[in-house]
Amino acid sequence: MSQAGIVVPVWNDEAGLRYLLPQLAPLVDEVAVVVVCNGCTDRSAALARATPGIVVLELAEANKAAALNAGDAAISEPGPRLYLDADLRIETDSLRALLSACATEGAVLAGPRCRYELMGRPWLVRAYYYGEGHAAAPVAWHRAHLAGRGCYALSAAGRARFGPFPPVRNDDEFVDACFANAERLEVEAAEAQVVVARSTSELVRSLVRVQLGHDELAERKPPAPALTARPLPFGVRLAAYLRRLWGSPAVTEFELWATPSRLFGYELIRLVVAIEVRRARRRGSAPWR
């Protein structure tokens, strides 16, 4: 017998749980729901325990991979799995749709359609995500892969493709790399809203952690997908942008997706992140969070 399960790793996210727990509550009679508080110093664990039917675990160390493995171990039988970030905004019907997509004998990795919550964010944060949603290279990558959406679901055969989660920051990228394009499924009936950084400094810290996660995965076999692929350097793209404004023939390497301010903001964030990543590499390993 197989048992479907939902695993939610949590690190000091009472606000996220206040939204997510009511979405999980209707599912406790259908699937095993495990919330793993790792390194929490707030009331996340107490909040989760107040929801009947949810299993709550507490780990002393803030370590997402350890939390994912502890959640898996708490589910007695193998079966489809849904791994869910605590700060993701997703409704019960979308969770059901993801699990239903994985009720198959084949190996499947499923993810929701994704949108970003940008209301009230600084213009640099908005410019960066506008670029990610319109520049050719990141758009092409996100169409082919399911990492970076805040949750992913695996069929039983898909979960059997790898053992315990390795000690890496980017668990979703690790999992994504275990599947071929034909095995990745964006579920049309499921939509998730990703709550993005509320400040420019928070965005930079988040992107630095992601890039350091790429470094970790690049050392593993098989190598992870090249998330860092981007269009041509800023100077070349800016020149192409100006040439196109002046009526030159279309420049295929650069799409006219941005106003000058959006283009500047997008490239400025990328430049700052590149500098901070180099500094972090010189310092050595960065913390999990």
Q: Are 20 and 88 in contact (CB under 8 A)?
A: yes
φ, ψ (nearest 5 deg) of residue 52: -60, 140
Per-residue pLDDT, 218: 79
Q: Which domains are seen in the chain, by residue range?
A: 5-120+149-196 (3.90.550.10)
Report for 44-48, 73-77, 193-197: range of highest mean pLDDT:
44-48
- Kindly report the number of other CB atoms within 10 A of residue 175's CB atom: 21
User: How would you class 173 by CB atoms within 10 Å of its CB: exposed for 0-12, middle for 13-18, buried for 19 or more?
Assistant: buried
* CB of 149 closer than 8 Å to CB of 171: no
pLDDT at 109: 97
Residue found under tokens 């076999």: 221
Please report which confidence band the pLDDT of residue 237 belongs to, taking 50, 70 and 90 as the band edges: low
Maximum average pLDDT range among 239-243, 247-251, 267-271: 267-271
- The residue-averaged pLDDT of 135-149 equals 85
Going by C-alpha positions, the residue among 156, 13, 164 that lies closest to residue 82 is: 156
Task: Work out the pLDDT band at 221, boundaries 50, 70, 90.
Answer: low
Give residue 195's pLDDT.
Answer: 84
**pTM of the predicted model, to two decimals?**
0.81
Contact present, 138 and 230 (Cβ < 8 Å): yes
Look at strands 89-90 and 109-117 and give their pairing. unpaired
Q: Which runs of E-coded beta strand occur in 44-199?
A: 55-59, 81-84, 89-90, 109-117, 151-154, 184-195
Tens of pLDDT, residue by residue over 54-103, are 999 999 999 999 999 999 999 988 889 999 999 999 999 999 999 999 99
Which residues are paired to 237 by β-bridges? none
Q: Is the Cβ–Cβ distance between 187 and 111 less than 8 Å?
A: yes
Alpha-carbon gap, residue 124 to 65, rounded angstroms: 31
Which residue is it, tokens 């965005």? 203
> Please, are residues 10 and 39 in contact by the beta-carbon 8 Å criterion?
no
Helix (H, G, I), strand (E, B) or coil at 112: strand
Interatomic CA distance for residues 72 and 143, integer angstroms: 28
Q: How confident is the model at residue 250 (pLDDT cuts 50, 70, 90)?
A: very low
If we measure between CA atoms, which residue out of 82, 85, 84 comes closest to residue 102? 82
Q: Give the chain's mean pLDDT.
A: 85
pLDDT above 90 as % of the chain: 60
Query: How many residues does this entry show for the chain?
Result: 289
The C-alpha atoms of residue 132 and residue 118 are separated, in whole angstroms, by: 13
